Amino acid sequence: MILFLPCSACLQYRRRPLGPMPNEEFEGKDPSTLPVYHSFEGYHRRANEERERRHWWHSFRDFLSTDLVPGGGAEELNIGLPVDRVSRKMQLKARNTIKKANQKNTELQRAHRLHTLELDMDKLEAEYEQTCGPHHIQRIATYYGVYRDLFAGAVFVPRVPMHVNYVSIDDVATPVFRGNVIMPGEAQHAPEVIYDAEDGSLWSLLLTNPDGHLSENEAEYLHWFVGNIPGSRLVDGDTICPYLPPIPPQGTGYHRWIFVLYKQERHVDFFSENRPDPCNDLLHRTFRTIEFYRQFEDVLTPAGLAFCQTKWDESVRRTFHSTLNLLEPVYEYAWPEVYHPKEVKFPHRQPLRYLDRYRTSHEPSYGTH
């Protein structure tokens, strides 16, 4: 038995083309009646004309151009913290020193043979966060379109490890990793945010949803904003915008829930970004990260990043009704009409049910195929 799995190629085949298909003018014609090229020069000239002509489809070369891909192969703009580069030679020397010490340690060798060797996972995680972890987070965030939708393609490496945990009433922590799914019912209260900061430093923390604005496609909703945080003491910062739980409307799928940590050069007056407390008007929460960053780019530098995904549950309805005092919007995807090629009088090598595509009645044709 052969199973035909549905895929995007099948959907594309059954969708109405946006224009004439390649070589459509030659279909159904006798090859002997078609014009021929009497020389390679004529063929080469016609091929160049077709290559320069604009079509409704895109070639692979088009997808590498600047018109279709943000940045289009150009060097990415790095807006993050500078990195303290360490000599590769010094890194290898330190690793070799540790390796030789471990090879001479008989207790480690014995534990390895007896399968009793235990590793300190906290040390491994700390080492990961200081070495390749930030680059992995950057790659994942690029995959999820975080830099594209928040910073117009500019990127940064999250040098400052940030741990975000939603703690429930039962003291069960739900962490925000890098793209994991957290339901709105688990994020009804502001989370705990932990990061390492020097004494005397100032920070800002923003939480936005770039996928959930109800009226503007390119806008976001600002769900939380705390500025002028001394060190890592979040409770001592200025609450610019109070916390609002996730509100992904029913039928809109998964929404990105993005935390961005900024390092401040000095104390910043966020008077233009102040929201009332409580802020129950979604219009006041309309936000654009790129415009905010352009306004304060001289004093703010993105340093940390954490994000998750969320989708609708029953708590969203309660938030709309009780907190926002709004009717809950519900969406349904309108599937495009199935495209069928033009009916032919003699459908050669087609099954009997071929005629069902063009019948006005929904009664199926009965037969062996």
Domain count, the chain: 1
Higher-pLDDT residue of 200, 18: 200
Residue 254 within a domain: yes
Q: Which domain holds residue 304?
A: 132-323
Q: Which of 156, 249, 154 is nearest to 211 (CA)?
A: 249
- Mean pLDDT confidence for 163-170: 90
Q: How confident is the model at residue 61 (pLDDT cuts 50, 70, 90)?
A: low
What mean pLDDT is reported for the chain? 86
Residue 367 within a domain: no
Query: Contact, 212 vs 245, CB < 8 A?
Result: no
- In 3-state terms, what secondary structure has residue 155? strand
Residue 270 within a domain: yes
Query: Contact, 226 vs 204, CB < 8 A?
Result: yes
Residue 274 within a domain: yes
d(CA 313, CA 322): 15
Q: Residue 333's pLDDT is what? A: 86
- Looking at residue 267, which CATH number applies to its domain? 3.90.280.10
pLDDT above 90 as % of the chain: 55
Q: Residue 29's pLDDT is what? A: 81
- Mean pLDDT confidence for 94-123: 90
- Quote the tokens at residue 42: 């004529």
Residue 68 within a domain: no
Higher-pLDDT residue of 77, 208: 208
Question: Which ranges constitute the DSSP H helices of 114-224?
Answer: 121-130, 133-143, 146-150
d(CA 88, CA 247): 47
pLDDT above 70 as % of the chain: 90
d(CA 307, CA 147): 12
Residue 260 within a domain: yes
- Mean pLDDT confidence for 311-337: 93
Q: Which of 74, 208, 81 is nearest to 157 (CA)?
A: 81
Tell me the β-bridge partners of 167.
Answer: 173
d(CA 235, CA 100): 46
Residue 206 within a domain: yes
pLDDT at 82 over 70: yes
Q: Strand 178-181 relative to strand 300-310: parallel, antiparallel, unpaired?
A: parallel
Q: Residue 73's pLDDT is what? A: 46
pLDDT in tens, 111-161: 989 999 898 898 889 889 988 899 999 999 999 999 999 999 899 999 999
Lowest mean per-residue pLDDT among 66-70, 234-238, 260-264, 345-349: 66-70
Q: Residue 3's pLDDT is what? A: 40
Residue 213 within a domain: yes
